[in-house]
Amino acid sequence: ALTLSKVGANTILVDLDNRKNEKLISQIKKKYHTTPKCYTVDVTSKDKIIELKNNILKDCNHIYGLINNLGFTAKASKLEKINLGIGFENENIELWYKEMDVGLTSTFLCSQIFGKEMLKNKQGVIVNIASTYGLVGADQRIYGNSKINSPASYAASKGGIVNLTKYLAAYWQGKNIRVNTLSPGGVKDETYQDRRFIKNYSNKTILGRMAKK
């Protein structure tokens, strides 16, 4: 949001909890003098996304870009007291459904609904945030007793995003709509990651560290 605002974009921030976004909007207005907005929306609901699109068009007239940055993360699961350390054999089917809804279905719906507007404008950019775990298997040895193991549902969701991106990039070729994916590695967050996990993960990377916020 800060990077896009720096080059003059009026950013739209969407989340289920907008307390942090409201603070960020205030910061953006003061620093970049753009007109950012935030909306509280459940993006697993098609009706809510259509309502969001209509509200944005009323406020901004055009939609030129979409970043799908969604996922039911280890941090979220810890807040909801879901134990990710129980192993694939005991993985909860409700977690699978939730991960698919939040990570993959919402990306499909947002790309479809906002992509239609981009077709009307004859231009647009979609960036889907996947994960290294959409490309490689998670090494369970690095997690120890942290209980924040990356579950199969997360890998399947992010792998789906990678291939959905490829599909859309090919589907909209020649329509002046670019679709790309970004697959970052683990991001350091000491609010829920213990030192042992951070060390183990860092030792797996060429740079010897996790990504920084």
Alpha carbons within 13 angstroms on the beta-carbon side of residue 179 total 27
Q: How many CB atoms lie within 10 A of CB 54?
A: 10
List residues bridging with 179 in a β-sheet. Answer: 126
Tally of helices (H runs) and strands (E runs) in the chain: 8, 5
154 catalytic per annotation: yes
Q: Which of 32, 143, 154, 201 is catalytic?
A: 154
Residue type at position 97: Y
CA distance 63 to 41: 17
Residue type at position 16: L
Q: Name the strand (E) or helix (H) holding 84.
A: none
Identify which of 168, 153, 26, 57 has the alpha carbon closest to the alpha carbon of residue 99.
Answer: 153
In the 3-class helix/strand/coil scheme, how is 50-64 assigned residue by residue? Answer: HHHHHHHHHHHCCCC
Report the catalytic residues. 154
